[in-house]
Amino acid sequence: MSCAICEIRKEKRFCPAVHGRICPQCCGEQREVTLDCPSDCPYLQQAREHEKPRSAEQFDRASLFLQVEISEQFTYEREHLLMGLSYALAQAAHADRNLNDRDLIAALSAMCTRYERLMNSGLHYDQPLASPAQHAAAAQLEEMLKEFRDAEQKQLGHSTLRDSDVLKALVFLLRMGHARTSGRPKSRAFIDFLFAQFPEKQSAVIAPQEAGSRIIVP
């Protein structure tokens, strides 16, 4: 039997993405490139275990917003904000199973640009996004920020959340996304990481002791 993709080499493994048997070479070359690999595929999981981290040369430095400094103290003081925004990303991905890492990273990048412009010039300007799915992810983040501010207002009588804090939190998650994704077009490694932190039925309310244990600095 020949590979269901190349139809040349001999098939040796079952591919749930094509519902057929393929050769190891096509599996390696097309994984998360042309194939929508399910997260429970054993070959995908094995590849992730042995995959080397991407080198610094593979990143566009501007895409990481390196001008934004994030201290360990910030991640400690704003862990609930980081958890809330992480939860919002997970919820967006749960709501649309066609989302991939690039969509979440695009939404985060657009919001980082928006808040950086807001801080520097005071102008409100929404960065254009390529798809409705990316818009939905950005909207989920904005809704979480609103809920966070409302909760602070209710508990403290005022909100302590500054635009600079929001920018740092968004950049933190953006860098985490870049660090966790494989960089392939259909990669969902970052999303699977978020799903591990927030299963579909996970409550949005996180106890402080849980929140601290789940923040992983990229």
DSSP string, 21-69: EE-HHHHHHHBTTTB---TT-HHHHHHHHHPPPPPGGGS-GGGGTTTS-
Q: What is the mean pLDDT of residues 150-179?
A: 92
Tell me, yes or no, whether 45 and 151 share the same domain.
no
pLDDT at 201: 58
Task: Indicate whether 1 and 83 sit together in one domain.
Answer: no
Residue 73's pLDDT band, with cuts at 50, 70 and 90, is: very high
Asked if the model's pLDDT at residue 209 lies above 50, the reply is: no
Please state, in angstroms and rounded to a whole number, the distance separating the CA atoms of residues 93 and 78: 23
The answer on 69 and 44 residing in a single domain is no
* Domain that residue 181 falls in: 60-214
* Mean pLDDT in residue range 104-124: 88
Residues 102 and 155 in one domain: yes
At residue 99, the pLDDT reads: 94
Confidence bin at 60 (pLDDT 50/70/90): confident
| Residue ending a domain, choose from 51, 68, 88 | 51
User: Do the beta carbons of residue 23 and residue 6 sit within 8 Å?
Assistant: yes
pLDDT, tens digit, 9 for 90 and up, residues 5-58: 999 999 999 999 999 999 999 999 999 999 999 999 999 999 999 888 776 677
Mean pLDDT computed over every residue of the chain: 87
Read off φ and ψ for residue 175, nearest 5 degrees. Answer: -65, -35
Question: Is the pLDDT assigned to residue 215 strictly greater than 50?
Answer: no
Distance CA 109, CA 141 (A): 12
**Secondary structure of residue 206 in the 3-state scheme:** coil
Split into its structural domains, the chain has a count of: 2
- Of all residues in the chain, the percent with pLDDT exceeding 90 is 69
Are residues 100 and 151 located together in one domain of the fold? yes
Q: What pLDDT is stored for residue 125 in this prediction?
A: 62
Q: What confidence category does residue 126 fall into, taking pLDDT thresholds of 50, 70 and 90?
A: low
Mean pLDDT of the region 136-148: 93
Cβ density class 108-147: b for 16+ within 10 Å, e for less: bbbbbbbbbebeeeeeeeeeebeeebbbbbbebbeebbee
Residues 47 and 71 in one domain: no
Residue 89 or 123, more confident: 89
- Does residue 216 surpass a pLDDT of 50? no
